[in-house]
Amino acid sequence: MNLNYCLPLLILSSSFLPGVIIFFLHDDQVRLRTTLNLAGAGVQLLLIGRLIHGVFNDQIYEARLNLLPGMDLVFNADALSVLFVTLSTGLWFVTTVYAIGYMEKAPNRSRFFGFFSLCVTATLGIAMAGNLLTFLICYEILTLATYPLVTHKRTPEAMRAGRIYLTYTLIGGMAFLIGTAWLRALAGPLDFTETGLLAAHMDISHLNLSIIFLLLIGGLGVKAALVPLHGWLPQAMVAPAPVSALLHAVAVVKAGAFGIVRVVYDVYGIEHAEQLGLLAPLAAAAGVTIIYGSIRALYQDELKKRLAYSTISQVSYIALGAAIFGPMASIGGIVHLVHQGLMKITLFFCAGNLAETLGIHRISEMRGVGRRMPWTMAAFTLAALGMIGIPPIAGFVSKWYLGVGALESGESWVLVVLAASTLLNAAYFLPIIYSTWFQQPEAPWPHEHIPASRLETHWMLLLPPLLTALLALGVGLLANAPFSPLVWTKFIVQQEYGL
């Protein structure tokens, strides 16, 4: 077997094998577990570098394993999968560093990091899935691998959140399974194809394709937290901060959004989906979710829940971009996979720092905390301003392309949604920024773990949000640099539109 066949499998193995070994370690085997975590993530980064170079130079990487006659498990790499794989691998490395520091004294650490690695493996499988069947299998593995992370604390609240999460995602998975099986019966093998695999099956009835689209998007919309399928996400915030970061920026929510992009572009084809009239309902659902999530965020005093409703809103930018027929809007939606990931993971890292160091969980407890934890709050501020859309941070780039794309496509109502969302983003982020930097604390911190005379928090908790905040700024400032997320996304969209 040559490298072109093995590389996708090696990438999957680099997180899967360490995860399996970690399950068998005792909690006190800290050094070995840390070595396995960081070595796996480091090797995976090197393999992804090789993948990026090969795909850019038109190399074909594909591993095809026969499950049943006419049903293959396919892992390959195209420009879209490379974007998501790079995001997942890069943020997994950073989140692993953070999780090692955060979980330093927590119980059941080997179980946590084992499922953590399996979760990332499933996400990479989703990213590199070459057909709808492979996507479905990895999508359901992700559900099962994430459940133990959501319920890690084993408190009644955590177990309740886990049941809610499992109920939503299994029902969504069932809808996705039905849609996949139905489409397989009508169209045969479901290998993803640029401009859409259904372009070769124009004889399938409009009604069948519309119902299948509803089932597929409904199944994906659960993890992407489209309204009204979003109810699990705020409940899952009971999980440890590294899990929240993983859910919102790397794995579950992003897997749903990425799946919507795959279905629109590589299953139906953007032009075919527009002709069938399927994009308008998806755009409407995304628009409603953007506004609804922002409004609900305004009323949350618990910091992680405010960030959760912000995610519900922000991730729907990706679905909105996919649902607007036009290259510029597509660029804005797809690049937001990366931009939102960098900004949101920073915010959750900072929320975890506040909780772990000072016992702060609520926004009303954050007055003056910028003076006690200036580096953490500087990272938080930068990411929050990016979420609002302040240039030159990454969020501005996404909103700019979505707005220009909407105008080019004659969808001017999208500008109203973007403007309203921006104002609401400002309304729920700016008061936090103001109170943390310019107000005095009203009481001692709820529970201070590290004396103020020392570094504001453990370096393994402080370095990751500083790095991701700087990346969010950098990919905005250097948006047109070679191999930037924006430039790579333009390359993707050129292929999807056949330009």
Q: Is residue 300 part of a domain?
A: yes
- The pLDDT value recorded for residue 441 is 86
Task: Give the mean pLDDT of 44-73.
Answer: 85
Cis status of the peptide bond prior to 18, with omega within 30 of 0: no
Backbone angles phi, psi at 163, to 5 degrees: -65, -40
If one compares 181 and 72, the residue with the highest pLDDT of the two is 181
- The pLDDT value recorded for residue 30 is 80
- The pLDDT value recorded for residue 453 is 47
pLDDT of 382-417, one tens digit each? 999 999 999 999 999 999 999 999 999 999 999 999
Beta carbons within 10 angstroms of residue 459's beta carbon = 11
Number of H helices, E strands in the chain: 20, 2
% helix / strand / coil in the chain, to the nearest 5? 75, 5, 20
If one compares 389 and 28, the residue with the highest pLDDT of the two is 389
Q: Which one, of 284, 175, 272, 265, lies nearest residue 220 by Cα?
A: 175
- The pLDDT value recorded for residue 450 is 61
Q: Is residue 248 part of a domain?
A: no
- Give the number of domains in the chain: 1
Q: Is residue 383 part of a domain?
A: yes
pLDDT at 322 over 50: yes
Give 73's strand partners: 65
Query: What's the N-to-C CA distance of the chain in angstroms?
Result: 34
Q: Does residue 124 contact residue 15 with C-beta atoms inside 8 Å?
A: yes
- The pLDDT value recorded for residue 161 is 86
- State how far the Cα of 268 lies from the Cα of 214, in Å rounded to an integer: 12
Q: Is residue 6 part of a domain?
A: no
Whether the pTM exceeds 0.85: the reply is yes
- The pLDDT value recorded for residue 295 is 95
- The pLDDT value recorded for residue 351 is 93
Assign residue 105 a region (left: φ > 0; alpha: ψ between -120 and 50; beta: otherwise): alpha
- State how far the Cα of 385 lies from the Cα of 103, in Å rounded to an integer: 29
H-run or E-run covering 66: strand 61-68
- The pLDDT value recorded for residue 104 is 73
Alpha helices in 300-441, H assignment, sequence order: 303-323, 327-358, 369-372, 374-388, 394-408, 413-438
Q: Is residue 235 part of a domain?
A: no
Which two structure tokens, joined as six digits, stand for 339? 């931009």
Pairing of strands 71-77, 61-68: antiparallel
Q: How confident is the model at residue 299 (pLDDT cuts 50, 70, 90)?
A: very high
Distances (CA, A) of 305 to 102, 302, 308, 316, 345: 19, 5, 5, 17, 14
Task: Give the mean pLDDT of 202-206.
Answer: 85
- State how far the Cα of 37 lies from the Cα of 462, in Å rounded to an integer: 19
pLDDT of 433-474, one tens digit each? 999 999 988 877 777 766 554 668 888 889 999 999 999 999
Q: Is residue 203 part of a domain?
A: no
Q: Is residue 157 part of a domain?
A: no
Q: Is residue 176 part of a domain?
A: no
Which two structure tokens, joined as six digits, stand for 384? 């929050």
Q: What is the residue range of 480's domain?
A: 278-499
- State how far the Cα of 441 lies from the Cα of 365, in Å rounded to an integer: 8
